[in-house]
Each structure stands twice: as C-alpha cells, then as structure tokens.
Amino acid sequence: MLFRKMIRDLLKNKVQFLSIFLMSFVGMAAFAGLDAESTGGFRSICNYYDEYNLADYWVDGGGFDDDEVRKIEALDEINSVEKRSIINGKDAANTDHALLLHFIKTNSINKCWLVEGTPFEEGKEGFWIEKYYAKANNLSVGDNMSINIGNERIDGIVKGIGENPEYVYYILDGSLMMPDYGNYSFVYLSDEMHPDRENLKYTQLIIDAKEATPELKKKIEDILDRKDVVVTDRRQNISFMTFDDELSQHKAMGVMFSIVFLLIAFLGIVTTMTRVTANQRIQIGTLKALGFSKRTITLHYISYGVLITALGDIIGAYVGMIGFPGWIFPMFEGAYLTPKLSGVLTPFSVYGVAISVLLAALVSFLSCRKQLKDMPAITLKPEAPKFLKANFIERSSLWQKLPFSTQWNFRDIARNKIRTLMGVVGIAGCTMIMFAAFSCNDSILGILDIEYKDIATYTTQVSFEEAVDNSDRFDYARKYKGQLLQSVPIEVASLNAKENETLTVIGAGGYVHTIDRNGHTVKLTNDGIALTDKACKNLGVKEGDFIKWHITGDDKWQYTRINQVVKSTMTQGIYMTRDTFENFQYTFTPTSFVTNITVPKRLIDDDDNIMAIVTVDDLVESLNRNLGNMLQMVILLVACAVLLGVIVLYNLGILSFTEKTREVATLKVLGFGSRKIRNILQEQNIWISLMGIFLGVPLGKLMMIGLCATMSSNMDFSPVYSAKTYIYSVGGTFIVSILVNFMFSGKVKTINMVDALKGVE
C-alpha cells in the first residue's frame, strides 16, 4: 500500500522529483565521468610507461663514459643505465622542420612503441620516427629519408613509425604555446650513424630504477661527483608532468561540478519533501491511527528522496563513465602522443553514489521529521497557520513607502527561506559555471595578448644551429635589425627545492619586454637577476631571497639574489640582460634573434646556419587549430549552466506557484489583473536571480583560480575576465531566468478560483 502511495505521490509531484533526478544525474555524471576519464587515463598511461619502460631518471652533463655507467649500475636500486647523445637536426626534405635526434646504442629504456615497422636493434641503421610527423610528411616504413646536422647529412631508411613514452607531450622550445607535431619531431637512430663517430659525446644517461626515491637521486649525484651534472626525475620531466596535470585538472573539475549539482539536488529534496509532508499531514495522522509505526512511516517518506537520488546517481554514473572518456580522449589527439586511452569504473564513483544516497536519506529525514514527531490526535488536525513577527524592516517608516509588490515578495521570501536559498544557490551555480566557461576562453586568448603584445613585439624568431660562429650570429642580427636572445637550460636550487628551468639572456633591442605580476612593463636591471613568478612559487622563494643556479653541463654554480620578479606564461626560470650575464664571466652566445623584418623561409634551405624560422602568425595559427577543443568544453559548460538554471528555476517557480495559489487567487479577487500578478512574480524572480548572480560571479572567479592552479609547473596561466564574460554570464543567466518565469507565470490564468479560495476542510 505504501509503495503504491509513493508512486502516486511521485507522479503528482513529478516536476519537483524530476528536477531532483536531473540534478543527481548531471552531478554524478560529471563526477563519475571525469573520474573514469582521469583515472582511466592515469591507468592507461602508467601501463604504457611500464610496458615501454619510461626512464626514472635523466642525467645531463658534458659527457659520460662507460666507467661512470658501470658505477651507477652497481647500485642495488638500479636495473639498467643507457647512454645517448641528443642533438638538433633538420629534415633535408623540409628544412624548416626541426628534428631532435637521439643517437643510442640500445633501446631497453624509453622503448619505441611501434605502429608499424621493426624494433630497434643495436648497430642497425635506419630511422625510427613519430607517427604524427610521418603522417603529416607522407613518410612510410621503407621510405628513404635524409637528415641535416649542420653541414653534415645522414641518409637512411625509415625502419619504424610509432611513439615513445618519453614524449607524450613535446614542444620545440619555450616560445611555442601548443604542440605542432607535423613541423617538428624526435628521431631515434643508432650511434653508429653519428656523422662524427670518433668524437661522439654521450651527453645524457637514462636510468631505470627499481624504485625512484630522493635518496637514490642523491646517490647518483654523489657517484658522478660533478658540478656540471643535472639529475632529473619524472616529476621534473615536462612531458610526464604536463599530462599528469591535465588529468588532475579534469578530476578536480569533476569534484567541483558534482558539488554544485548535488547541492541543488539536496536542496530540492528539502523543499519538495517539506511540502509533500506538510500537504499530507492528515494522511500521516491517518497512517498512524491505522497502526503504522513511526519508523515505517519515516522510512516511507525517506524512500522518496533516496529512490529518486539513487536512480539519478546510478544512471548518471553509468552514462558519465561511458560518455565522458569517449568524448574527451579524442580531444587529446594532436596535443598528446599517447596510446589508446580508456575510462574505468573506480571505487570513488561507487563511494560517490553511496555517499550521495546516504546524504539524500539524511536530508529527507530532516525534512520530514517535523510532521512525523506528533501524536496521531494532533497530526489529524490541520496545522495552525504560522505566526510571523514583523521584522525591523516592516516596523520601519520605509516599509509604508514601498510598493505593494515589494512588500508582498519580501514577506513571501521571509516565509520560505529554504525555497529562496535553493533558488539563490541554483542561480549562483548557473552563473559560476557560465562565468568560468567564458573566462576559460578569455584566459587562452589572454595569453596571446600577454605573449605577443606585452612581452614580444616582434613578428619573427630565427633560431641558429649549434655550430654557428658567434660572430656570424651577430652579423645576422645586424642584417635583419634584430634583437639577440640566448636561451639555455639551467638548474635552480633554493633551500626548499631544486628545479630545472630556463635561463633567458636578452640582448640590446626593443622587441622583447618583461612585465611584473600586474602586467606592467618593467626594465631589467644590470646588477641582478629576475626570476619568474611561477618559478618563485615552485622554489618557495620571493624577491630579495638568494638562490643558486648553474647552466646545464657547466660545473660553475652562481649564488645570486633575486632582484626582480617577472611574469612569463610559457618559459619559467631566470631572465637577465646581456651585461649581467657577462658579469658572471659567461660568453653571450645567442641561440636566436627576433625581428619585425620579414625573413624568407627559404633561408632555411639556403643557409645551414639557420635551424628554424617561426613567425608569430604561425604560432597563433597553431594555437587556433587547438582552440576547437576549448570551444567544445565551453559549449558543454554553458549547456550545463543553462540546464542547471532551467531546472532549478522551473522547479522553484512551480513549487512557489503551487504554494501561493490561494494568495494569487485572493489578489485576483481584489482586482489585480493577470499581467500585474505575473509582474509581481517576476519581480521576486529577479530578486533571487540578482542575489544568485552576485554570489555566482566571485564563485566563478574562484573556480577559474582553482583550474589555473592545476596547470603544469612550466605554464603560468592567470585568469582573464573580459567585459564579454561578465555580459554573457550575467545576461545569459537573466535570459534563462526571465524565460523560465514566463513559462510558469502563465499559469495565473488557469487558477480555479473556487478550489483555491475554499476553506480547509
């Protein structure tokens, strides 16, 4: 009997319970879906790393011999060590395409995952190349390929096409904002193919450890006992950390989304179950009089919220787990070089469903207990009307000056605080998500403004080959009226941490600028160094503190004070002028120059001294190609925000209108027309919308700050909020609010005056 009663009650209040179902569905779909996507991505990539033996440590230095390799391999914690030489080259068929060449002896660490071709063999000639580069340049297994290294040329055959766990994410240098794997790539080949085999230096060791620990890292540094050596673990590897941070960000988004939607669902349970039990007061008394225990009746009403929430959670978790990974993982293509990724059902999703259902039961109990605690004799009587005392506003002289609509709405809100809270939270959630969606787009576009309007005012960057004479580098800059730059990898250490960063030395000129945290242009001084804001956070230091640093491969450490803190979105580390650099007794050896004069791309073909020519237009075009994924995410977020607003406001409107039917009918009897009554209802709706919007905008900013904080350590994104973001998020929320209010306020005309005004029997 109670089950049939529950079904009738659910159907009678289908709009309210449907909104609870939808909120539970969307909230759990976001949580379980993004959890399945991020956890599945973590699991897939970890299996990839394990199967193809991603290195635990990378050791860079001026050169390593077999004796040093044997000493490291003698450690009990070490499985194996491989040495290799990494140098820059160019595709002879497309000389504007840069290639990072890995001359190796064996390939048991960082093994190539082959899509086609044969595995690497020691001493076997040939090239093993990345699949996106092969596809973009129409290369297949068996094709002839030539690579230029300065004035030398290597000819060979493509023996394998695939990917490598070492390069899940790869950019040519810090000036690029997005990967463009069709224009640059990495190549593995035997050290037997090195053009200068007799003078070959192995400049890097890769180490496979049984367990990577800080103590083992220190042991490796002590064994080598060289100041020019830099030991890097996975947590300092850009490829590893960028993909790891991407998945962590998705998991955080899932938690934030689910909290918003499930909170609305629980508030919906409170308002709906309070109304249902209040309207069924006499039915509750009748059930008690018929012998149903208080426990049985309580469980009966608790089951309403539990059933709807459980259905929404379970279906949402299933749909999210199936849909989100299949939708998100294809977006990774072109940005990450990964094997097939798949989502998984995790215990966290199961725990999430269980906790959500338990909270729904608790909320349902708290909503019902007031009507269930009285004796049958009391419950069978109609509840006495609430006695509300006039508050200080109603007692003030201002109250009499307010229009009737304002007085009516103020008293209605005071009588229905939970219902109002639900509306405010729902609108705040709608505004928050919509604001975060549009500001995501603003932040990406804002990077372009910071990088190519505030920091860089050049149109072209030209990179030199390593072997170019220093005098020739200066000649190129004079010829094209450019500004010389030197970028080299460095190791930076503080008392708290040690990081691998980049040293950028800026020569004379006006194309490259530095800005502070607030975006204001600052001039670098000649008596100290400037450290980027993100590097300061990574190292746990501030302006005025001392750090030590050295150029990778150089055993000379510098102990310097941080004179300035500057902002950089993509390249983190130290910035200094040429004069400061030379004061440290270094030779300024530019790695590139920037200019606003057009540099012909054919110069790469005609001049062996030029490694790459990149224009700002090329970079912007590359970024725009990848903004499609961002646009999809923005559309999804806006759709979720609109859905949240529509469901909450429509549910609130129906609930409010149902409870105010008698009052609305009284207004009609007193001579208020339908249009006037609809305006009164719309006024309250606007009040609630304004309160929600004022709360939602700062929450949207907090959400964006949280998302930016999960970016990888080499990227420094700051939230950007344009005027359009405020207009679209606030205006969009208002449009949703007005349209939904228009949908239900038309019911004013449908009120049955006799039924609405007759006394309670």
Place of tokens 């009678």: 12
Q: How far apart are CA 275 and CA 168, in angstroms?
A: 55
Least confident of 15-24, 35-44, 155-164, 666-675: 666-675
SS3 480: coil
pLDDT > 90? residue 55: yes
**Separation of CA 451 from chain center:** 20
Selected residue with higher pLDDT from 617 and 508: 508
> Residue 358, Cα to own-chain centre: how many angstroms?
30
Provide the pairing of β-strand 152-163 with 127-130: parallel
**Token pair recorded at residue 119:** 């595995």
| Alpha-carbon torsion (560, 562, 564, 568), positive or negative | positive
**477 contacts: CB under 8 Å, gap ≥ 6:** 483, 484, 507, 590, 593, 595
670 near 408, Cβ under 8 Å? no
pLDDT at 760: 47
Residue 244 pLDDT > 60? yes
The yes-or-no verdict on residue 72 having pLDDT over 80 is yes
pLDDT digits (tens, 9 = 90+) for 223-239: 888 777 888 888 878 88
Helix (H) or strand (E) holding 300: helix 294-328
* pLDDT 10s digits, 683-712: 777 888 888 889 888 988 888 877 776 666
DSSP summary character for residue 676: H
Alpha-carbon span 114 to 160, nearest angstrom: 6
606: its two tokens: 């005609």
pLDDT at position 318 over 70? yes
Taking the CA of residue 688 as centre, how many other CA atoms within 13 Å lie in the half-sphere pointing to its CB?
35
| Number of Cα atoms under 13 Å in the Cβ half of residue 263 | 17
Residue 41 has pLDDT above 80, yes or no: yes
DSSP secondary-structure letter at 191?
A: G
Percent of the chain with pLDDT over 90: 12
Which of the residue ranges 101-110, 296-305, 379-388, 730-739 has the most confident prediction, judged by mean pLDDT? 101-110
- Write the CB contacts of 446 (distance below 8 Å, at least 6 apart in sequence): 718, 720
Query: Nearest to residue 729, comparing CAs of 380, 373, 320, 442?
Result: 442
Q: How far apart are CA 312 and CA 29, in angstroms?
A: 9
Residue with tokens 């190519």: 452
Give every CB contact of residue 718 below 8 A, 6+ residues apart in sequence: 443, 446, 567, 708
Is residue 452 predicted with pLDDT exceeding 90? no
Helix (H) or strand (E) holding 478: helix 470-479
Confidence band (pLDDT; 50, 70, 90) for 187?
very high
Three-state secondary structure call for residue 702: helix
Burial 339-365 (b: 16+ CB within 10 A, else e): bebebbbbebbeebbeebbebbbebbb
Average pLDDT over residues 166-178: 73
**Considering all CA atoms of the chain, what is the largest pairwise distance in Å, rounded to the nearest integer?**
105
Q: List alpha helices for 482-615, DSSP H.
A: 533-539, 578-583, 603-606
What is the model's pLDDT at position 159? Answer: 93
Q: Give the integer Cα–Cα distance in Å for 191 and 83.
A: 10
What whole-number distance in Å separates Cα of residue 362 and Cα of residue 360?
Answer: 5
Cα–Cα distance, 729 to 643 (Å, whole number): 14
List the one residue out of 166, 204, 242 whose CA is nearest residue 58.
204
Rounded (10°) angle between helices 238-279 and 281-289: 70
Which positions ≥6 away from 397 have C-beta within 8 Å?
none
What DSSP element (H or E) covers 286? helix 281-289
Measured distance CA(571)–CA(618) in Å, rounded: 18
Q: Are 302 and 392 in contact (CB under 8 A)?
A: no
The residues facing 118 across adjacent strands are none
User: Looking at residue 376, what is its pLDDT?
Assistant: 64
Residue 761, pLDDT score: 44
CB atoms within 10 A of CB 90: 26
CB 581 within 8 A of CB 575: no
pLDDT score, position 406: 80
DSSP 8-state class, residue 109: S
> For 193-206, how does the pLDDT look when each residue is reduced to its tens digit (9 = 90+)?
988 888 888 889 99
Helix H or strand E segment including 356: helix 347-372
The answer to whether residues 439 and 422 touch, using CB atoms and an 8 Å cutoff, is: no
- Report whether pLDDT(48) > 70: yes
Flag whether pLDDT at 450 surpasses 70: yes
Q: Is the pLDDT of residue 677 over 70?
A: yes
Alpha-carbon separation of residue 312 from 25, 28, 327, 716 (angstroms): 4, 8, 21, 38
Torsional class of 354: left (φ above 0), alpha (ψ -120 to 50), beta (otherwise): alpha
Token digits of residue 63: 């050169």
Span 84-143, pLDDT tens digits: 998 888 888 887 788 889 999 888 999 988 889 999 988 888 999 999 899 888 999 999
- 206, 81 in Cβ contact below 8 A? yes
In sequence order, which residues have a C-beta less than 8 Å from that of residue 229 and are 6 or more positions away? 59, 60, 61, 221
Helix axes 294-328, 2-12, angle to 10 degrees: 50
Interval 578-584 mean pLDDT: 90
Q: What is the per-residue pLDDT across 642-661, written as a single tens digit (0 to 9) for each?
A: 777 777 777 666 666 666 66
Q: How far apart are alpha carbons 84 and 63 in whole angstroms?
A: 10
H/E/C letters for each residue in 151-184? Answer: CEEEEEEEEEEEECHHHCCCCCCCCCCCCCCCCE
Report whether pLDDT(337) > 60: yes
- Asked if residues 721 and 442 have their Cβ atoms less than 8 Å apart, the reply is yes
Place of tokens 């605080």: 417
Q: What is the pLDDT of residues 483-504, one digit of tens each?
A: 999 988 888 888 888 888 889 9
Percent of the chain scoring above 70 in pLDDT: 87
pLDDT of 184: 83
Which of 132, 111, 115, 121 lies closest to 54 in space, CA to CA?
111
Q: How many CB atoms lie within 10 A of CB 30?
A: 25
CB of 566 closer than 8 Å to CB of 531: yes
As a whole number of angstroms, the distance between CA 277 and CA 300 comes to: 11
d(CA 197, CA 152): 12
pLDDT in tens, 254-275: 777 777 777 777 777 777 777 7
DSSP string, 392-442: HHHHSHHHHHS-HHHHHHHHHHHH-HHHHHHHHHHHHHHHHHHHHHHHHHH
Considering only residues 597 and 629, tell me which one the structure prediction assigns the higher pLDDT.
597
3-state secondary structure of 660: coil
pLDDT average, residue stretch 714-721: 74
Q: Which residue has the tokens 């070490």?
A: 78
What distance in Å separates the CA atoms of residue 310 and residue 307, rounded to the nearest whole number?
Answer: 5
